[in-house]
C-alpha cells in the first residue's frame, strides 16, 4: 500500500486519502453510464480518512477502482436523455470520462473488476433491506434480512488532494499544543526534544505541499 500511495504523490507529497462507496449505489439492471449519469453533480462516495471534509472539488492525482458492475449494454433508462458516457466503448472509458469531468487536470488511473466484494459472514451485515442479494438497489424491501446480502458492487479511490493540507496542519497544531517537557515518560521512551521539534517542522512542511493558493490565508491561520 505504501508503494501504491507513492505512485500517486509527487512534489514532496506523501499522503493520500481513501474514499469508498460501500455499496456503490447501483439500481438493479442499470448500466454503468446510467448509474454515473445520475451522479453528475457529485461522486457517490464517502471519505474513509480522518478529516472533516466530505467533498473534494479538485485533486492532484487519484486511482479509482470499480468492482461488481457487469459490462451491460450502455443504453439510457426510459425517459433519461443519453449522455456522453453512453458513447464510451468500455467501462474504463466511462470512468475516465466521468472523473475527468469531476476532477479536470488530475493524474488519474482507472480499473474495473467484474468480481464484486464478497459480503457473506463474517462480513458485518449492516445493509439496507432495499438491497438485493447481489447488492443492487430496488424500490421495495426484500423478504429476507440484510444478512442475505452475499456481495456488493464497490467504488473506491485513493486521492492526493488539497484538502489534506487541513488534515496535516491540524495534526501539527494539535501536537504543538501540549507541553511535552512536562511528560517525563514521553522522553523516557527515547524521544529527544530536538527530534520531536524536527518532526513537527517536517509535518508542517509536508502540509504546505498540499496548498494550492486558494484559501491559503485561512489555512495559514489554522496552522499558526
Tens of pLDDT, residue by residue over 148-161, are 889 999 999 999 99
The maximal CA–CA distance of the chain, rounded, in angstroms, is 69
C-alpha cell at 27: 439500481
Q: pTM for the full model?
A: 0.78
Percent of the chain with pLDDT strictly greater than 90: 29
The domain boundary, picked from 121, 137, 160, lies at: 160
Residues 182 and 120 in one domain: no
Dihedral, CA atoms, 127, 132, 135, 137, nearest 10 degrees? Answer: -90
Residues 113 and 26 in one domain: yes
**Residues 19, 154: contact at Cβ < 8 Å?**
no
Q: Which contacts (CB < 8 Å, 24+ apart) does range 97-105 have?
A: 98/36, 99/43, 99/62, 99/64, 101/40, 102/43, 103/56, 103/58, 103/59, 103/62, 105/58
Whether residue 123 is contained in a domain is answered as yes
Whether residue 30 is contained in a domain is answered as yes
**pLDDT reading at 166 higher than 70:** yes
Residues 144 and 36 in one domain: yes
Residues 145 and 199 in one domain: no
Residue range 121-142: mean pLDDT, rounded: 85
Whether residue 224 is contained in a domain is answered as no
Q: Write down the pLDDT at residue 144.
A: 56
Whether residue 223 is contained in a domain is answered as no
Return the bridge partners of 46, or none. 20
* Residue 203's pLDDT band (cuts 50, 70, 90): very high
Residues 48 and 151 in one domain: yes
Q: Write down the pLDDT at residue 54.
A: 64
**Residues 93, 74: contact at Cβ < 8 Å?**
no
Residues 150 and 195 in one domain: no
Residues 71 and 127 in one domain: yes
* Nearest alpha-carbon partner for 132 in 119, 122, 146, 121: 146
Count of structural domains, the chain: 2
Residue range 32-53: mean pLDDT, rounded: 82
Backbone region of residue 150 per phi and psi (left: phi > 0; alpha: psi in -120 to 50; beta: other values): alpha
Residues 149 and 201 in one domain: no
Give the residue numbers spanning the domain of 48.
1-160
Residue range 192-212: mean pLDDT, rounded: 88
Q: Write down the pLDDT at residue 147.
A: 58
The domain boundary, picked from 102, 133, 160, lies at: 160
Nearest 5°: the CA angle 14, 56, 19 is 65
Q: Write down the pLDDT at residue 43.
A: 86
**pLDDT reading at 82 higher than 80:** no
* Whole-number average pLDDT of the chain: 82
Whether residue 221 is contained in a domain is answered as no
Angle, helices 193-208 vs 164-176, to 10°: value is: 160
Amino acid at each position: 500500500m505504501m508503494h501504491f500511495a507513492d505512485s500517486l504523490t509527487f512534489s514532496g507529497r506523501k499522503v493520500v486519502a481513501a474514499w469508498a462507496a460501500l455499496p456503490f449505489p447501483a439500481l438493479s439492471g442499470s448500466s454503468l453510464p446510467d448509474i454515473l449519469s445520475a451522479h453528475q453533480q457529485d461522486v457517490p462516495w464517502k471519505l474513509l480518512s480522518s478529516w472533516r471534509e466530505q467533498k473534494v472539488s479538485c485533486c492532484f492525482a487519484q486511482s479509482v477502482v470499480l468492482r461488481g458492475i457487469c459490462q451491460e449494454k450502455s443504453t439510457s433508462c426510459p425517459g433519461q436523455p443519453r449522455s456522453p458516457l453512453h458513447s464510451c466503448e468500455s467501462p474504463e472509458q466511462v470512468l475516465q470520462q466521468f472523473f475527468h469531468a469531476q476532477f479536470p487536470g488530475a493524474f488519474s488511473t482507472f480499473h474495473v473488476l467484474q468480481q464484486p466484494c464478497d459480503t457473506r459472514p463474517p462480513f458485518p451485515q449492516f445493509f439496507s433491506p432495499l438491497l438485493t442479494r447481489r447488492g443492487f438497489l430496488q424500490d421495495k424491501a426484500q423478504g429476507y434480512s440484510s444478512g442475505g446480502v452475499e456481495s456488493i458492487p464497490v467504488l473506491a479511490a485513493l486521492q492526493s488532494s488539497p484538502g489534506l493540507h487541513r488534515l496535516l496542519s491540524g495534526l501539527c497544531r494539535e501536537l504543538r499544543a501540549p507541553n511535552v517537557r512536562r511528560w517525563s515518560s514521553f522522553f523516557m521512551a527515547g524521544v529527544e526534544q530536538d527530534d520531536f521539534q524536527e518532526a513537527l517542522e517536517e509535518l508542517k512542511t509536508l502540509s504546505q505541499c498540499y496548498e494550492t493558493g486558494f484559501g491559503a490565508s485561512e489555512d495559514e491561520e489554522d496552522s499558526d
